[in-house]
Amino acid sequence: MTLTICTYDWVPPGPRGFVRDIRLRWACGEAGLEYDVRSMPFDDRQGPAHRAQQPYGQVPFLQDGDLTIFESGACLLHLGEKSETLMPLEVQGRSEVTQWLISALNSIETVTVPWWFIGLSEPAENPLDGWMNGRLDHLEAVLAGRDWIAAGRFSIADILMVDALRIPRDHGALEERVALKDYVARGTARPAFVKARADQIAHFEAADATRETARS
């Protein structure tokens, strides 16, 4: 059964390379799982057809036969069941991977995304600096002693954690944190990440021409 990764048909240039379907593309690439990409109209993202599959009008969501799953973390856990490359089989390793995957979503991304968003308006001081720096310092101490975040090996937990850290990395917050900076570099150097990013960018760029034609 072919997997289908659902994403927008187009997004503006800014978020290209960062849209969270990259997490699913990356996981499939690591595990050698074949997938199709289904495009949902960006302009109709709050319409009933989209919200029937992703209640917030967001992407990604994943289709696997009759199953439709939203939330990138849930999609990764589903993919993890398909390949030991993504998720170890033994209980200790599985629980470590699950723990760190949830941690990336719930203890890192919940801070980094609002921090980045507030920073866009260039306040004299970002009120979330202290909260985010605390989280990153703690994570720096963990990553100082290991290459990958869970179970002594690469897993879906790294896909989420590395991706969540790209925003603070690109906005200068990892400059003094060598372990985190190296960790993101290690993750994003993996061929499956490089391909996932390039494929996503190509997907959105291909839609530029269609939109231009439709508007002219």
Ligand X SMILES: N[C@@H](CCC(=O)N[C@@H](CS)C(=O)NCC(=O)O)C(=O)O
Contact in structure between 156 and 120 (CB atoms under 8 Å): no
Estimate the crossing angle of helix 129-143 against helix 178-188, to 10 degrees.
Answer: 70
Q: How far is the CB of 70 from ligand X (least distance, A)?
A: 6
- Cis peptide bond upstream of 60, omega within 30: yes
Q: Considering beta carbons, is residue 72 or 126 the nearer one to ligand X? A: 72
Supply the DSSP symbol for 104.
I
Q: Which residues bind ligand X (CB under 6 A)?
A: 19-20, 45, 57-59, 71-73
Q: Considering beta carbons, is residue 63 or 72 the nearer one to ligand X? A: 72
Supply the DSSP symbol for 106.
I
Contact in structure between 106 and 71 (CB atoms under 8 Å): no
Dihedral angle at the C-alpha atoms of 22, 95, 83, 164, nearest 10 degrees?
10
Q: How far is the CB of 114 from ligand X (least distance, A)?
A: 12
Q: Considering beta carbons, is residue 69 or 177 the nearer one to ligand X? A: 69
Q: How far is the CB of 125 from ligand X (least distance, A)?
A: 26
What is the spatial distance between Cα 54 and Cα 40, in angstroms, rounded to a whole number?
11
Q: Considering beta carbons, is residue 57 or 114 the nearer one to ligand X? A: 57
Q: Considering beta carbons, is residue 40 or 132 the nearer one to ligand X? A: 40
